[in-house]
Structure 1
Amino acid sequence: MKLVKTALATTTFALLAGCMVGPDFEKPAAPASTHYDVKAEQALAGNTAQHIDFDKRIDGDWWSSLGSPKLDQVMRKVIEGNLGLEAADATIAQANEAVTSVRGALSPQVDLAAQGGRQRGAGATGFATSNFYAVGPRVSFDLDLFGGTRRRIEEQAALADSQRHRFDAAYLTVTGDVATQALTLASARAQIAAVESLLANDRKNLELVQTAHRYGSATQVDVATATTQLAQDETLLPPLAQQRDTAAHALSVLAGKGPADWVPPDFDLADFALPAQLPVTLPSDLAHDRPDILEAESQLHAASAAIGVATSDLYPHLSLSGSLTRVGPAPGLGTLWGLAAGLTAPIFNGGTLKANQRGAVDGYKAALATYQQTVVSSLGQVADVLQAINHDSEEVAAQDRALTSAALSLALNREGYKAGETGVLQVIDAERSYQRALIGQIQAKTAQFQDTVQLSVALGGHSDEAFQRRAAYRDERSMAGGPTNGGKP
């Protein structure tokens, strides 16, 4: 009884003191950088086509700045039906259950025990055989003197936060892929249209040369040259068609459908508007906006709590238990009860517990380095995209000038050929120059759109609470009478 009183007194003191061993987690400091790339920022600050604004942040669905209702519809379908997000959704639920499971250790554990059998023993009249049974509840409670269980709860809660941020990262990746594939599809269609126009011109050139050959003003070599140019240009179509079909298939898969089950709309570059204003988060705020950084922070938090778990194992554990048992049917037996306190403390374990603690500290150092690397990489990614957007503007302007010049040269050469002032080879060379300029212009505009998408993704794309927004989408569909299982029939 004295032992029980001592244990209870120790327990009360420990609980009042709120003893929890191990470090209390502190959020890492925000990046000290004030710029991503000074030259790119200065260039984009005065850019007339696209300029950055550090006073604004991405608000709402980042892709809405592209001004495409088609993209909005596809994006919503993908968010509802994407199977990767569905898996991440279930993983979050699993992580939350893990927190609940660990938290249950702070509550008393009640079990029911029952036993029955047959026994033979000596009695007043000699040996006798009898039946027996014992049934009753047993209660146990770990007092968690040094906070090991609470640190485990903290660790699991941090891991659950990590899963939520991982969902946000997956959401950001998926939405970025949708926009990229939609632009790729639109670009391929535009390039196919350009090549088909070039092929029509090639056929006109061939017809022109053949007519001239019949009248003796062109040679068979000229006819062969024009025929070869047409055949070479025809080879441009299959790769572009493959690019178009691959992008369409990718959109179907992102929506959780087979390519034969759902076909995305035909996107055109004209469906998209290039945003002139680009909101850019300051580096000091980036750590609060990018889900991969927040995920790394949660992993760091979990590693910090793991140190407390390992440290608590070095200290004594105190538990209380009680039982109430009904036994019988032998005479003289009835209800039995018991109350006990158990104290266990490590004495010798071959260095296992200290090694576990040191390993937990090493794990924290590794998680800290991973967090820092994630932050640095994110700064580099934003800097790369800012420079890309800056160079995209230069490239588009140069391609526009090249296309204008090539179109003028082609028109002059055609007129000259009709007047007999130039040869067919000059016309074909002008045709090739125009072809390169036209395709180059489409590719430059596509890159400008896609780098704008990548900037939104690199800045975090307002992906916080994406899990809740996806659930809201599905609730709206459910209220409208549509399918509720991720948009799938």
Structure 2
Amino acid sequence: MLLFRCVYHPVVALAALLALSSCAVGPDYVPPQPPQSAAYTADGDTGPHGGQVVSVGHEPESAWWRSFRSSSLDRVMTQALQSNNSLEEAQATLARAGEELRAVTGEALWPQVTLDGSAGRQKFGVAELGPDVTIPAFTAYTLGPRISYLLDFAGGERRAVERQGALAQSERYRYDAARLALTGQVMDQALVLASAREQLAVLEDIIADDRKNEELVEISRKAGAATETDVLSSRSQLASDQALLPPLRQQLSVAEHALALLVGQSPANWQPPPFALTSFTLPEHLPLRLPSELARVRPDIQAAEAQVHTATAAIGVATAQLYPSLTLSADSVQESLTVGSLFESSSHTFDFGAHLTAPIFNGGSLLAQKRAAEQACRAALAHYRQVVLAAFAQVADVLKALEHDAQQVEAQQHALDTAQESLRLARLSYGAGNIGVLQVLDAERLSNQARLGLAQARIRRYQDTALLYLALGGGQPQATEATAAR
């Protein structure tokens, strides 16, 4: 027997029923409101600091790192955006979320059409046909389409699509956050390289001075103007300064290897440019988004908001489980008894049916699931508020850090000027025989410490400036640029 399942008039009926699903249970999503704040710090101080001016209400440029005017940094950043494996993983996760959304949408909102087919041997017994009727065994075939559609009266399916859409949106923001984090890591490692080289250059000058001092003290000892203790003191100073070199060289190597990893290369096959502090320009004009604007563009805040949307839709999904569900199906049958008459002698039948399922008793599990979804939404809201507050606090920290960095650079520069003048006078006094070599060595030590302190203060100012761009969410749009870079 061959059965062909075809659909004629039921298709029209089902198409009309698609319009019946117009309501959805559960709360409609309303975007949460971030804390109302006009400033990031209690004193609202965003004035100029050491030559840097903060422009309130201004947006960072899309490629924020270009504010530092380093062509070498631009090249490394472009390579990282194109080749970083973690970013590619985040992009693939984002693409997967999009495909899962399409899958859920197609399954939940559209009729499902399948093609059914079967073949088998059949034989009727005497009890079925009677003693005077005999039908030999025959082969039966069935083939044809079947259509079914779940009437989403309660809106649970649409809430499921909404939830999947919010999850996809969350993955997009996580991708943006991953990209922003990558640019920050590249910038940070480039500045670490510049800092290490700056401090190594200062130390090498210091060690050169130590060697000269050691020679001078040895000459003075031979002339009877210095003691063996003075010689040992000069040697001790040289050894102490030389001991500072290996940690800085290690810091330099680690930063080089970290940059290679960020651009998707092996440290054996890739070397970063020779970053130096002079290869960067400290931005004079710094942007500062308003707090209300920051909550709409910073990726981690957007991801937290998408999680609130996901949790809200999940309440609707759980609520819909409390209502009946109705599935419509339709088919028609064309059958033939023999292989030879497969497309000839046939008879037609038609089927149209509905399947209703309604919860009656489940031990309270469905209500518990609904309450659990409501608590999950409450947790997502609390998490969102915490993420917003943490973002505001981070911007406030960086603004204060920039203020203190400017003060620190000024103080270190003054300390260096004073120490160098003191060292000059100490050397003159030592040459005139008024003081001993230990006093000169102490003056040199203070001068050297001031030189290193100034180098560290300057690089910290660059790092905090970069951190401000990151705390503000970087430049927009992010996902578009990253996709274009690939």
Q: What TM-score do the two structures reach when normalised by structure 1?
A: 0.91
**Matched residue SS, 1:342:** strand
CA distance in structure 1 between the aligned counterparts of 2:393 and 2:32, rounded to whole angstroms: 19
**Aligned match of 1:88:** 90
Deviation at 1:274, TM superposition (A): 1.3
Q: Does 1:216 align with 2:228?
A: no
1:287-319 deviation per Cα after TM superposition (whole angstroms, max 9, x unaligned): 112100000011100111111111111112122
Q: For 1:20, which of 24, 29, 32 is the aligned residue?
A: 24
Q: Does 1:303 align with 2:308?
A: no
Q: For 2:420, which of 407, 431, 440 is the aligned residue?
A: 407
Q: Does 1:260 align with 2:268?
A: yes
Q: For 1:272, which of 267, 276, 280 is the aligned residue?
A: 280
Change (3 A) 1:14 1:94: closer
**Aligned match of 1:348:** 361
Deviation at 1:53, TM superposition (A): 1.4
**Matched residue SS, 1:349:** coil
1:403-444 deviation per Cα after TM superposition (whole angstroms, max 9, x unaligned): 111111112222222222221111111111111101100110
Deviation at 1:272, TM superposition (A): 1.1
**Aligned match of 2:75:** 73
Q: Does 1:244 align with 2:236?
A: no
CA distance in structure 2 between the aligned counterparts of 1:266 and 1:46, rounded to whole angstroms: 31
User: Comparing 313-322 with 448-457, which one deviates more in the overlay?
Assistant: 313-322
**Matched residue SS, 1:429:** helix
Q: Does 1:225 align with 2:227?
A: no
Contact 1:131 1:329 in 2 (8 A): yes
**Matched residue SS, 1:112:** strand
What number of residue pairs does the alignment pair up?
465
Where in structure 2 are the equivalents of 1:23-422 lying within 5 Å? 23-39=27-43, 41-42=44-45, 44-105=46-107, 106-122=109-125, 123=129, 124-126=132-134, 128-329=136-337, 334-422=347-435
Q: What amino acid is the match of 1:471?
A: T
CA distance in structure 1 between the aligned counterparts of 2:206 and 2:291, rounded to whole angstroms: 47
Contact 2:304 2:387 in 1 (8 A): yes
Deviation at 1:17, TM superposition (A): 7.3
Deviation at 1:69, TM superposition (A): 1.3
Gaps of 5+ in 1: 1-7, 475-489
Deviation at 1:234, TM superposition (A): 0.5
CA distance in structure 2 between the aligned counterparts of 1:195 and 1:150, rounded to whole angstroms: 67
Contact 1:297 1:371 in 2 (8 A): yes
CA distance in structure 2 between the aligned counterparts of 1:60 and 1:130, rounded to whole angstroms: 74
Contact 1:78 1:255 in 2 (8 A): yes
Q: What amino acid is the match of 2:464?
A: D
Change (3 A) 1:351 1:383: same
1:27-75 deviation per Cα after TM superposition (whole angstroms, max 9, x unaligned): 1113211111133x42x41434222111312122111111111111111
Contact 1:180 1:450 in 2 (8 A): yes
Task: Tell me the C-alpha RMSD between the 2 structures.
Answer: 2.1
CA distance in structure 1 between the aligned counterparts of 2:303 and 2:21, rounded to whole angstroms: 32
Between the two proteins, what is the percent identity of the paired residues?
45
Deviation at 1:352, TM superposition (A): 1.8
**Aligned match of 2:463:** 450
Q: What TM-score do the two structures reach when normalised by structure 2?
A: 0.91
**Aligned match of 2:485:** 473
